[in-house]
């Protein structure tokens, strides 16, 4: 039994070390500026239809995150909700978290979570959640009014930049 275990262990180590050797034998690979591997000729199409192989799982990972946030909606959200204290902002994911605050002339405290999901200046790019101090969501009319205010302010900012 001990010989069998030793044999399986040696076979596994040999197999995994051979995987690295086969990967390094391809000397014609190049890396683009966007960190994609370019094979010479039409070798990419010969390997797989989308250019990936099983060996790509063991290679270096190129995980660059691109920022996909509309700057006008981002700035307009902070401008319209300026009465709320900002707790957390993450421009890479497009999330703004605020604490509780009372709007001017109001008597109810609110808290907001804003998610800017898309670089386009469109209503679908903005996701907003408002909640009262007791944890309840606000009425759909109030939520819609705040969303409209943010989108209107974003359009005003874009027009002011003369990029429309």
What pLDDT is attached to residue 34? 45
What pLDDT is attached to residue 128? 95
What is the rounded CA–CA span in Å between residue 67 and residue 141? 31
When pLDDT is cut at 50, 70 and 90, the band that residue 6 belongs to is: confident
CB distance 97 to 116 below 8 Å: no
Q: Which long-range contacts (CB under 8 A, 24 or more apart) does 15-19 make?
A: 19/55, 19/58
Q: Which tens digits make up the pLDDT trace of 69-91?
A: 888 999 999 999 999 999 999 88
Three-class secondary structure of residue 126 per DSSP: strand
What is the rounded CA–CA span in Å between residue 122 and residue 151? 8
Query: Smallest Cα–Cα separation from 73: which of 112, 124, 6, 108?
Result: 124
- pLDDT over 80 (residue 164): no
With 0-12 CB in 10 A as exposed, 13-18 as middle and 19+ as buried, what is 7?
Answer: exposed
What pLDDT is attached to residue 32? 52
End-to-end CA distance of the chain: 77
What is the rounded CA–CA span in Å between residue 30 and residue 150? 46
pTM of the model: 0.59
Q: Which tens digits make up the pLDDT trace of 10-63?
A: 766 666 665 554 444 444 445 455 444 444 444 444 444 556 677 666 666 666
Q: Which tens digits make up the pLDDT trace of 109-162?
A: 999 999 998 888 888 899 999 999 998 989 999 999 999 999 999 999 999 987
What pLDDT is attached to residue 89? 92
């Amino acid at each position: 039994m001990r010989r069998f275990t030793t044999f399986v262990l040696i076979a596994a180590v040999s197999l995994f070390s051979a995987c690295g050797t086969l990967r390094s034998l391809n000397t014609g690979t190049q890396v683009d500026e966007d960190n994609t591997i370019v094979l010479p000729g039409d070798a990419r199409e010969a390997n797989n239809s989308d250019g990936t192989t099983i060996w790509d799982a063991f290679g270096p990972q190129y995980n660059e995150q691109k920022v996909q946030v509309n700057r006008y909606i981002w700035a307009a959200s902070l401008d319209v909700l300026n009465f709320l204290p900002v707790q957390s902002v993450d421009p890479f994911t497009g999330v703004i978290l605020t604490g509780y605050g009372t709007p001017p002339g109001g008597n109810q405290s609110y808290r907001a979570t804003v998610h800017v999901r898309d670089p386009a200046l469109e209503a679908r790019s903005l996701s907003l959640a408002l909640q009262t101090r007791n944890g309840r969501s606000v009425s759909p009319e109030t939520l819609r009014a705040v969303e409209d205010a943010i989108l209107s302010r974003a359009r005003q900012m874009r027009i002011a930049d003369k990029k429309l």
